[in-house]
Amino acid sequence: MSKDKAFDFRYAVENTEILIPPTGRLETFGDTLLGYVLVSEAPDDVGRCKVRTGTMRMKKPLLLTPEAYAERSLEGFSDEARKYLDWLRDHGQEVHVLRYGYQLSRESFSEQEISRPAGDVLEDAARDVKARKDPWLALVRGVEDPWDVCLVRLFMESVSRSARHNIEDFAKRRLAVNPPGGVSPEVRQQIEEAFAAAARDPSLRNRLGALLQKHDVFPAYEERFFALFRDQK
């Protein structure tokens, strides 16, 4: 394996195929359990492969600053998977998982080594996955190392597929809590003061984010909020 982790990440991502994607969309206001069957071929033996099965919990979105997100984004994943997310963020990838604070934890897991060609194993796995008719079960063909980057790729694509629906759900809830006319002048004044304070002192950005969440107005201030991080780099 290359010592260049960015290269390894790109290799893993480019060689990940989501053969049967989950059809269910992520919960907007709750957690989602996503099952997976990941088949990878041994790099030194085309007649041997590993089948990993398990469950990932996609936690409901939370507004987190980039600093906090870097610490809380993944639970139960390798350093390589964490560095992959860091690489995406550092290279300016516009993905909802990095902007809205979706979190992922790896839960149940099993691993089996099979002395059969990966193509045959994938055919059997595809039949099994289709027969189960589980909208939150995916079949993935990936690489042996770093294999959990393949799961992060599945995670990212699941978020992207659900993003439009999730945003619509957020908008509907925002209208229910804050009907046309918006927040009171007093609250708007608090928000303006919090923005000014966060611009002067970066340590106050978490407090600003909490205030926007409290009044369910983050989408209205989203671009301005993230501009604080661009301006203070």
Residue that terminates a domain, selected from 172, 189, 213? 172
Q: Are residues 129 and 30 in the same domain?
A: yes
The residue among 24, 50, 33 whose CA lies nearest residue 108 is: 33
Average pLDDT over residues 138-163: 87
152/57 same-domain check: yes
Ramachandran angles phi, psi of 98, nearest 5°: -90, -20
pTM, to two decimals: 0.63
pLDDT at 61: 59
- Report DSSP state, residue 41: E
Q: What is the pLDDT of residues 6-47, one digit of tens each?
A: 557 788 888 999 999 999 887 777 788 899 999 999 887 778
Q: Which of 172, 204, 220 is the last residue of a domain?
A: 172
Q: Helix 218-231 crosses helix 148-177 at what angle (to 10 degrees)?
A: 130
Beta bridge partners of 105: 57, 75
Same domain, residue pair 62 and 155: yes
How confident is the model over 48-77, as pLDDT tens digits?
A: 999 999 999 887 655 444 444 445 567 778
Whether 145 and 189 map to the same domain: the answer is no
pLDDT given for residue 64 in this prediction: 44
Range 206-228 average pLDDT:
82
Are 104 and 126 found together in one domain?
yes
User: 126, 143, 172 — which closes off a domain?
Assistant: 172
Give yes or no: residues 123 and 206 share one domain. Answer: no
- 80 and 151 inside one domain: yes
Note down the domain range covering 33: 5-172
Question: What average pLDDT does the structure give for the chain?
Answer: 79
Instruction: Confirm if 32 and 165 have CB atoms less than 8 A apart.
Output: no
Query: Is it the case that residue 226 has pLDDT exceeding 50?
Result: yes
Q: Specify the pLDDT at position 13.
A: 84
- Better-predicted residue by pLDDT, 97 or 108: 108
- Domain co-membership, 92 together with 132: yes
How many structural domains are present in the chain?
Answer: 2
